[in-house]
């Protein structure tokens, strides 16, 4: 029996994906199932925050994400943020997607708890929920704030009923526990720099791409 799907809802999962790994893909798959969307769009950002480390270009990160999701019907690599000449802010992406999809269907923006606790440093962060719902996945050793502006914002907008959120276009925060694999892009880059294998940390097609292009060496 197939899963229930809301064909009109949109779910976004942004990140540097430098490189994409199976932890990203596992979380994205579970989010697509949880949110009952036809597919989840993975958006690599154009300007990674951790400069000074061996970098793959935006085009290379998109290529790795595309090959990693090639046979995954629920996951789609999206190059929307790569077309901007200036640093890409989430609020701009969400406003654009909302404009494209209209005002009535739900838009889900998926982030981790580690991002949520610093969300008050984001550009126009208090406007985010005007455009979308935010779905927050737990992270090891990261707790949601108990006081301060982010805690107050969470208290105002938190909703524990996903079915209710499916009937609204935007405005709520939802917290979920997903499978957290102990794999990181940083760890992958470090292993490559040390000449160690990254097999089973990222899809074989991504391993091959990294080797062919001598990335992170």
- pLDDT tens digits for range 163-174: 999 999 999 999
Q: Which of 124, 104, 123 is nearest to 10 (CA)?
A: 104
Specify the DSSP element, H or E, that contains 13: strand 10-15
**Residue corresponding to tokens 């760890």:** 187
At 87 the pLDDT is 74
Whether the per-residue pLDDT at 71 is higher than 60: the answer is yes
Q: Which residues of 38-60 are buried (b: 16+ CB within 10 A; e: fewer)?
A: ebbbbbbbbebeeeeeebbebeb
> Rounded CA gap, 206 and 36, in Å?
27
Query: How far apart are alpha carbons 137 and 60 in whole angstroms?
Result: 27
Residues whose CB is less than 8 angstroms from the CB of residue 62 and which lie 6 or more positions away in sequence, other chains included: 44, 77, 79, 82
The pLDDT confidence band at residue 205, using thresholds 50, 70 and 90, is very high
Spatial neighbors of 29 by CB under 8 A, at least 6 apart, are 40, 72, 74, 75
Both tokens of residue 98? 């909302």
| pLDDT for position 77 | 96
Quickly state the pLDDT bin for 8 (edges 50, 70, 90). Answer: confident
Q: Which domains does the chain have, with CATH numbers?
A: 10-212 (3.40.50.620)
- Give the per-residue pLDDT at 6: 59
């Amino acid at each position: 029996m197939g899963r229930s799907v809301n064909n009109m809802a949109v779910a976004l999962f942004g990140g540097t994906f430098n490189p994409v790994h199976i932890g990203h893909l596992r979380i994205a798959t579970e989010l697509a199932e949880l949110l009952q969307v036809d597919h989840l769009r993975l958006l690599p950002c154009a300007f990674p925050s951790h400069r000074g480390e061996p970098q793959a270009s935006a085009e290379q990160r998109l290529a790795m994400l595309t090959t990693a999701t090639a046979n995954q019907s629920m996951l789609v690599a999206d190059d929307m943020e790569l077309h901007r000449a200036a640093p890409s802010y989430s609020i701009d992406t969400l406003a654009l997607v909302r404009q494209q999809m209209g005002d009535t269907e739900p838009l889900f923006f998926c982030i981790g708890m580690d991002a949520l606790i610093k969300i008050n440093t984001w550009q126009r962060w208090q406007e985010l929920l005007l455009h979308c719902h935010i779905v927050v996945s737990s992270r090891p050793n990261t707790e949601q704030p108990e006081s301060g502006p982010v805690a107050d914002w969470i208290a105002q907008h938190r909703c524990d009923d996903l079915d209710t959120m499916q009937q609204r276009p935007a405005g709520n925060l939802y917290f979920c526990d997903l499978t957290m694999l102990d794999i990181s892009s940083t760890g992958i880059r470090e292993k490559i720099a040390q000449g160690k294998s990254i097999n089973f940390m990222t899809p074989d097609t991504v391993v091959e791409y990294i080797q062919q292009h001598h990335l992170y060496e």
